[in-house]
Amino acid sequence: MSVTGKTSEQVTASSDLALVGELGKQLRVDGIRASTRAGSGHPTSSMSASDLIAVLAARHLRYDWSNPKSPDNDHLIFSKGHASPLNYALFKAAGVITDAQLMAYRTFGSPLQGHPTPVLPWIDVATGSLGQGLPIAVGVALAGKYLDRLPYHVWTLCGDSELAEGSVWEALDKASEYRLNNLCAICDINRLGQRGPTEHEWDMDVYRARFESFGCRAIVIDGHDLEQVDRALAEARAERERPVAILARTKKGSGVSEVEDLEGWHGRALPAEMAERAIIELGGIRDLRVATNPPEPGTPAITRGGGKVELPTYELGAKVATRKAYGDTLRALGARPEVVVLDAEVSNSTHAEEFKKDHSERFFEMWIAEQQLVAAAVGMSVRGYVPFASTFAAFFTRAFDFVRMASISEANIRLSGSHAGVEIGADGPSQMALEDLAMMRAVRGSTVLYPSDGNSAAQLVGLMADTDGIVYMRTTRGAYPVIYPPGESFAAGGSKVVVSHDDDTVALIGAGVTLHLALAAAAELEKAGVRARVIDLYSVKPVDTATLREANRVTGGRLVVVEDHHPEGGLGSAVLEALAQEARPPRVVQLAVRGLPGSGTPEELLAAAGIDTAAIVAAARRLAGKD
Amino acid sequence: MSVTGKTSEQVTASSDLALVGELGKQLRVDGIRASTRAGSGHPTSSMSASDLIAVLAARHLRYDWSNPKSPDNDHLIFSKGHASPLNYALFKAAGVITDAQLMAYRTFGSPLQGHPTPVLPWIDVATGSLGQGLPIAVGVALAGKYLDRLPYHVWTLCGDSELAEGSVWEALDKASEYRLNNLCAICDINRLGQRGPTEHEWDMDVYRARFESFGCRAIVIDGHDLEQVDRALAEARAERERPVAILARTKKGSGVSEVEDLEGWHGRALPAEMAERAIIELGGIRDLRVATNPPEPGTPAITRGGGKVELPTYELGAKVATRKAYGDTLRALGARPEVVVLDAEVSNSTHAEEFKKDHSERFFEMWIAEQQLVAAAVGMSVRGYVPFASTFAAFFTRAFDFVRMASISEANIRLSGSHAGVEIGADGPSQMALEDLAMMRAVRGSTVLYPSDGNSAAQLVGLMADTDGIVYMRTTRGAYPVIYPPGESFAAGGSKVVVSHDDDTVALIGAGVTLHLALAAAAELEKAGVRARVIDLYSVKPVDTATLREANRVTGGRLVVVEDHHPEGGLGSAVLEALAQEARPPRVVQLAVRGLPGSGTPEELLAAAGIDTAAIVAAARRLAGKD
């Protein structure tokens, strides 16, 4: 096989562009080799961006490949995650993976998965759900400019198809508002999407106008003209005011005549013989090494650790909304310098604004853009901050895909949703989260908390800060009596048996507002001669199986679960799943919201949904054989 | 109380603008009265848009209030649903609700809920989750221009805060691509959001540039200058090429000096005394009637009903992917003129492209914009079409809030998600839906289907067309043997006992790919002397409780549920919930995907997740006491 260029030279910032071009060809070749070997993947989507990445890696990126967690490093996020062959080919060129590792692409057990995930240390976040890399990059860039205050740059490789995702425009709006000159979106406008031409093909004027109107400096270039690429990347690094979008006109499958700019080659590996011809056309297999510029050494402005937190406490019997306790506790947590808070323009309702009072420099307004809210939290998690993001619980459904991907990224983010369930009252069903517990429970490795009073909420918010993974807390709109004394402790996976006797005939299991209703029901049942155990299942996931098991045993399997949520996937499901394999599984009555609620008072709506005290009493009596 | 203007005149298109201005004041007054009576609501957000709506209703809207379902009517969607006081005040002015009904705003049982819902016949869809009205309006406008081919106009009242939602930009991108000159976004730029000034306040140039760059004709006006409003609305109606955005600079709380353009009045009813002063300032209570222009009479180009559908069939044993059966069946359903198909640029993977081959005029490309995909389906459902929208199952998480709201809208939409679970193999976790069943089951009134072979998929897709509400089908990437003969029938709420004996000691319950694994497991178990019943739970919601109950009885409560999904909220939960209240609830072993998968072959990944045939056999043996 003939090779036109040098095969094992080192490519540095001072190498001439011809050699950088050779690197670009190597990236193409290696992407083809890896995907052809795997029998799947997106080589042509990688080839369109290979020149962009070659110039970036050789001349502009500042990165210590031997120390990927260095705070000084630039960040490079492949928002078009399907260009993973290119991403991995770059890692080979950087010398951090071997050619043999590259050839294991997409095989079982290989960290070189079909789309990038952070099982590889040089990857910040999982991508592959389009339109997420750029919003997350905004979070990293916010951390760089406002928290770390380090000169690292955040580079994001975007595809053109993904510019149809609204999340991209949410991201750019925030990027320009926060003047993220440390952010560059490198857009690979290769004209071809998965199933044919993209909507705007090579209409660079449309793209330019849109990016400019969203506050970016837009630089339109030919993405295969190395000098133009080099100049644009230099301008991006030098920019002082705005985020930069490099709009690169490229050709899908660039460099290989059998596929270049042709339809029908998205997400397809080249057949072996064709791959061989392609590699020959590209000048053969090379082993160039790219010696990326080292980062500027620096020290993050924020030192993690330290800061004495005194959690708020509330007097027994005082009426406190858990959302208020959330806000108060955030404010207290602000003593820890790594805690940051993000809001979606509802901080007066979620009470996240409490944090802002003392720590406005670590409070980030994401406006009404819930996808960006979660994405920014993920980006800050990349830099080791402890982000709390809050909005109405119902509106986290807007960001479910971002939460799903955050789990794959193994990000550490804390989410709090207020105004859950019919309890909110007059605002009506659009504002009522009735599926948030199902959604958040279904996320791999998530922690789902749902406190019922001020003291438990405060303790659990404090605990969230030190809990890894996706941690969700549901808070309640209304103020209810504090039932736990200050200092009581709570844990993920815990629960509280609030009322119990040795001879309980039924157990009432609730959380949040329904715990209060269950307590009232137990008092009524007691009068009627029915002994009821009341369990506060504040940790919905993980769930306290031991306590549930004991309740099952004592009551002879009579459990009433009451939740301000649809019957699928919430508290009731958690109880059923926990006890599914018992030798004697319980009978579980699920009181939940089954119809379509309207407006009304909380009391009216709880009654109409059949989850109020009277409904609990009736269900318990039936189960206890008293009716 | 002094009233400055006429109090009971009729306002028509030929009334002078001064009288229309009086109507605008009446709308303000009635919004204040209703919300003050309710003790909550958003009067000031209504007042900023009152002049816009007054001029629209009196001079430009074409609507038969007595026949809200007329296909000829214009549509008016309050994307800023919190302006419900204005929406309802308009209904009073139109004479379709009484003042007493208006005064019942937000009370229990009143159809005048906190945010608009279609329990009122003049409301197309529920709003209140911001950034949804405009995307849905795009769907209605698509129906008007390309299906009905009627001259009705679709007017949407948008707030300024909601322009931060990416879904708005997804909508405008499609609106301009499809040249929806029948769509007008009336943007109420009142400068104040929920918790203070908006990001762009009154920077009308920013808004203009963004709307123009997204292909709209943008008209910037003073939203309280009635002549400007009138001219802009006339231009919007006359536009022939593009969607129109009227960017109206307005004042929140306009007309009442105590609140006008002041912070702190979002989502707050005026206290009674203040309301009294406000009403006086606005000239008192009026009872003007608006006589809206009638619509142009016409006939939809598409006659619903008719068309002979022959569902595809597949030979027993042939290997067919259910996603292919979905596409084939869509194509067959195309014989019904009301069936429309929407795609998110993956129609070659979901096989929705099959429909396009015969019916391209009813195939709508929404590009990679899943929120808009679902919203457009909802909009077409408003006009009585039967929309099918499909993408990868994982990416419906992007649109969960739209599905949630569609349920509140009581919309009839069919969604199909392909490429579910670890079964997809090499593409990796970003593309694997592992929480879609939990998400879709948690939607009120939803139907969730998950067929395992070509013939059941075809029958169930056929059934989807005639099923109301939110109907979701999960399809599988790989091709598996056809196990049901052509002609076999399937129903929502049904299941199939594929293998059974009178003395089964365990039941294996699966759906989709896991049904095939369960069948193989049953054959192995049979050899080992364990009789296993195999149930195809293709209707995940509603679920066939009778068949599960019988399996529970026969097996003495030994059930193994196996699903290519996370363990929370999916098939296992459905089984547990169905049998929760049995006198003898079953022991249920849930085999599900608990870890974080990577890439690999389907077989490797199913085995690694512990949901393959070997895992089912092992679980069944343990449950049957054979290990």
pLDDT tens for residues B384-429?
Answer: 999 999 999 999 999 999 999 999 999 999 999 999 999 999 999 9
CB < 8 Å to A560, chain B: none
pLDDT confidence of residue A505:
97
Averaged pLDDT for residues B563-579: 98
Task: Tell me how far apart the alpha carbons of residues B391 and A182 are, in angstroms, rounded to a whole number.
Answer: 34
Q: Which amino acid is at A233?
A: L
Residue A5 pLDDT > 70? no
Distance (Å, whole) CA A335 – CA A107: 46
> Tokens 């059974």 appear where?
B500
Position A6 scores a pLDDT of 57
Give the pair of three-digit tokens for residue A341: 């808070």
Distance to chain B for A451, nearest Cα, Å: 20
Nearest to B558 by CA among B504, B498, B623: B623
Active-site residue (options: B170, B353, B354, B370): B370
Give which of A83, A102, A100, A80 is closest to A91, Cα–Cα.
Answer: A102
Q: Which is it for the CA torsion A220, A225, A227, A230, positive or negative?
A: positive
Q: Are A415 and A471 a contacting pair, CB within 8 Å? A: yes
Residues B378 and A143: their CA atoms lie apart, in Å, by: 39
Min Cα separation B287/chain A (Å)? 26
Q: Compare all CA atoms of chain A with the CA of B588 and give the residue at the minimum distance.
A: A580
Q: What is the mean pLDDT of residues A11-39?
A: 97
Q: What is the pLDDT of residues B437-464, one digit of tens each?
A: 999 999 999 999 999 999 999 999 999 9
Do the strands A532-536 and A479-481 form a parallel or antiparallel pair, or are they unpaired?
Answer: unpaired
Given this model, what pLDDT does residue A2 score?
41
Cross-chain Cβ contact A170/B170 below 8 Å: no
The shortest CB-CB distance from B367 to any of A164, A177, A400 is to A164
**Prediction ipTM score:** 0.98
Q: How many CB atoms lie within 10 A of CB B456?
A: 27
User: What's the pLDDT at B546?
Assistant: 98
Please give the Cα distance from B396 to B472 (Å, whole number). Answer: 10
Contacts of B541 in chain A (CB under 8 A): 568
Contact A435 B439 (CB under 8 A): yes
A183 token code pair: 């952010």
Q: Among partner residues B161, B164, B428, which is closest to A114 by beta-carbon distance? A: B428
* In the predicted structure, residue B2 carries a pLDDT above the cut 60: no
Range A151-176 average pLDDT: 98
pLDDT for the residue numbered A1 = 40
pLDDT one-digit tens code per residue, B30-62: 999 999 999 999 999 999 999 999 999 999 999
**Per-residue buried b or exposed e for A543-557, using 16+ beta carbons within 10 Å of the residue's own CB:** bbbebbebbbebbeb
Q: With 0-12 CB in 10 A as exposed, 13-18 as middle and 19+ as buried, what is A131?
A: buried
pLDDT tens digits along A356-392? 999 999 999 999 999 999 999 999 999 999 999 999 9
Task: Name the strand (E) or helix (H) holding B280.
Answer: helix B272-281
Phi, psi (deg, nearest 5) at residue B177: -60, -40
Phi–psi pair at A65, nearest 5 degrees: -60, -25
The string of pLDDT tens digits covering residues B234-251 is 999 999 999 999 999 999
Torsion on CA atoms B555, B557, B558, B563, rounded to nearest 10: 120
Give the span between the Cα atoms of B67 and B592, in whole angstroms.
51
| Contact at CB, B401 and A398, closer than 8 angstroms | yes
Three-state secondary structure readout of B71-126: CCCCEEEECCHHHHHHHHHHHHHCCCCCHHHHHCCCCCCCCCCCCCCCCCCCCCCC
pLDDT recorded at residue A479 = 98
Q: Which residues of B touch A353 (CB under 8 A)?
A: 195
Question: d(Cα A250, Cα A87) in Å, to the nearest integer?
Answer: 17
Q: Are strands A496-499 and A470-474 parallel, antiparallel or unpaired?
A: unpaired
From the CA of A285, how many Å to the nearest CA of chain B?
A: 25
pLDDT of A450 strictly over 70: yes
| Residue A512 DSSP label | T
- Give the minimum alpha-carbon distance from B64 to chain A in angstroms, rounded to a whole number: 27
Beta bridge partners of A559: A507, A588
Task: Choose among A166, A349, A572: nearest Cβ to B169.
Answer: A166
Q: What is the pLDDT of residue B8?
A: 78
CA A392 from centroid of its chain's CA atoms: 17
Reply yes or no on whether the pLDDT at B255 is more than 70. yes
For residue A442, list chain B residues with Cβ-Cβ distance below 8 A. Answer: 434-435, 438-439, 566, 568-570
Please name the amino acid found at residue A466. Answer: D
- Best mutation target among B88, B573, B594 (most A Cβ atoms within 10 Å) is B573
Chain A residues within 8 A of B205 when measuring between CB atoms: none
SS3 label, residue B473:
strand
Residue A491, pLDDT > 60, answer yes
Q: Would you state the pLDDT for residue B306?
A: 85
> Tens digits of per-residue pLDDT, B494-504?
999 999 999 99
Residue A588 is nearest to which of B106, B580, B600, comparing CB atoms? B580
Q: Report CB contact under 8 Å: A601, B108.
A: yes
How many residues would you count in chain B?
627
DSSP result, B354-405: HHHHHHGGGEEE--S-HHHHHHHHHHHHHTT-EEEEEEEGGGGGGGHHHHHH
Name the token pair of A278.
């392609």
CA distance B98 to B92: 6
What is the C-alpha to C-alpha distance for residues A550 and B548, in angstroms, rounded to an integer?
27
Residue of B429, B430, B581 lying closest to A588 (CB–CB): B581
How close are the terminal C-alpha atoms of chain B, in Å? 87
**C-alpha–C-alpha distance, residues B155 and B134, integer Å:** 9
> In this predicted model, what pLDDT tens digit does every residue of B267-316 receive, in sequence order?
999 999 999 999 999 999 999 999 999 999 999 999 988 889 999 999 99
Query: Looking at this protein, which amino acid is placed at residue B320?
Result: V
Instruction: Compute the average pLDDT of residues B309-325.
Output: 98
According to DSSP, the residues that pair with A499 across neighbouring strands are A534
Nearest in space to B392 (alpha carbons), one of A36, A79, A82: A82
User: Predicted confidence band at A3 (pLDDT cuts at 50, 70, 90)?
Assistant: very low
Give every CB contact of residue B238 below 8 A, 6+ residues apart in sequence.
none
For residue A389, the SS3 value is strand
Pick from A374, A444, A548, A552 the residue to mutate for testing the B interface (most B CBs within 10 Å). A444
User: Would you state the pLDDT for residue B242?
Assistant: 98
3-state helix, strand, coil in chain B (%, to 5): 40, 15, 45
Assign A62 to helix, strand or coil: strand
A158-167 pLDDT, tens digit each = 999 999 999 9
- Shortest distance, CA A199 to any CA of chain B (angstroms): 7
Peptide bond into A135 cis (omega under 30): no
Find the residue in B nearest to A348 (Cα). Answer: B195
DSSP three-state, residue B289: strand
A541: closest chain B residue by CA: B568
Chain A residues closer than 8 Å to B570 by CB: 442
Q: Is the CB of A442 less than 8 angstroms away from the CB of B568?
A: yes
Q: Among the options A170, A370, A423, A435, which is catalytic?
A: A370
CB nearest B430 (choices: A115, A573, A589): A115
Query: N- to C-terminal Cα distance for chain A?
Result: 87
Query: How far is the alpha carbon of B543 from chain A, nearest alpha carbon, in Å?
Result: 12
Contacts of B583 in chain A (CB under 8 A): 587
Task: Find chain B residues with C-beta within 8 A of A170's C-beta.
Answer: 164-166
Among residues A515, A523, A546, the alpha carbon closest in space to that of A451 is found at: A515
Rounded to a whole number, what is the distance in Å from the CA of B480 to chain A's nearest CA? 20
DSSP class of residue B470 equals E
Cβ–Cβ below 8 Å for B430 and A128:
yes
Contact A568 B438 (CB under 8 A): yes
Is the CB of A210 less than 8 angstroms away from the CB of B212?
Answer: no
B506: Cα within 13 Å, side-chain hemisphere = 29
| Chain segment B121-146, per-residue pLDDT in tens | 999 999 999 999 999 999 999 999 99
Residue numbers in B near A580 (CB within 8 A): 572, 576, 587-590
User: Using a CB-CB distance cutoff of 8 angstroms, which residues of chain B are in contact with residue A434?
Assistant: 442, 444
Percent above pLDDT 90 for chain B: 97
Q: Which pLDDT does position B6 carry in this prediction?
A: 57
Tokens 């009120």, located at residue: B444
C-alpha span between B589 and B609 (Å, rounded): 15
pLDDT more than 70, % of chain A: 99
Question: Mean pLDDT in chain A?
Answer: 97
Contact A598 B119 (CB under 8 A): yes
The partner residues of A412 in beta bridges, in order of sequence, read none
Q: Which chain B residues are closer than 8 Å to A114 by Cβ?
A: 426-428, 430-431, 599
One DSSP character per residue, B548-601 reads: HHHHHHHHTSEEEEE-SS-SSSSHHHHHHHHTTTSSSPPEEEEE---S---SS-
The pLDDT, as a whole number, for residue B169 is: 98
Angstrom distances, CA of residue A53 to CA of A248, B206, B478, B491? 12, 32, 34, 53
Structure confidence at residue B28 as a pLDDT band (50, 70, 90): very high
Question: Which residue type does B456 have?
Answer: S
Interface test with A, best of B427, B506, B587, B606 (most A CBs within 10 A): B427
Q: How far is B397 from chain A (nearest CA, A)?
A: 5
Task: Write the residue in B39, B199, B404 that is nearest to A397 by C-beta.
Answer: B404
Which token pair is A517? 């209703």
Q: Are A587 and B587 in contact (CB < 8 Å)?
A: no
Element (H, E) at B156: strand B154-159
User: Is the model's pLDDT at B7 over the cut of 80?
Assistant: no
**Contact status, residue A140 vs residue A124, Cβ threshold 8 Å:** yes
Give me the mean pLDDT over the A537-558 stretch: 98
Q: What is the DSSP letter of B144?
A: I
CA-based nearest residue in chain A for residue B41: A427
Please say if B370 is a catalytic residue.
yes
Sign of CA dihedral B362, B367, B370, B371: negative
Q: How far apart are CA A450 and CA A561, in angstroms?
A: 14
- Residue A453 CA, chain-centre distance (Å), reads 28
Contact B395 A401 (CB under 8 A): yes
Instruction: With CB atoms and an 8 Å threshold, state whether B598 touches A108.
Output: yes
Interface probe for B, chosen from A160, A398, A407, A587 (most Cβ of B below 10 Å), is A398
pLDDT at A32 over 60: yes
From chain A, pick out residues whose CB is under 8 angstroms from the CB of B431: 114-115, 128
> Is residue B626 very low, low, confident or very high in pLDDT (cuts 50, 70, 90)?
confident
Contact assignment for B576 to A580 by CB distance below 8 Å: yes
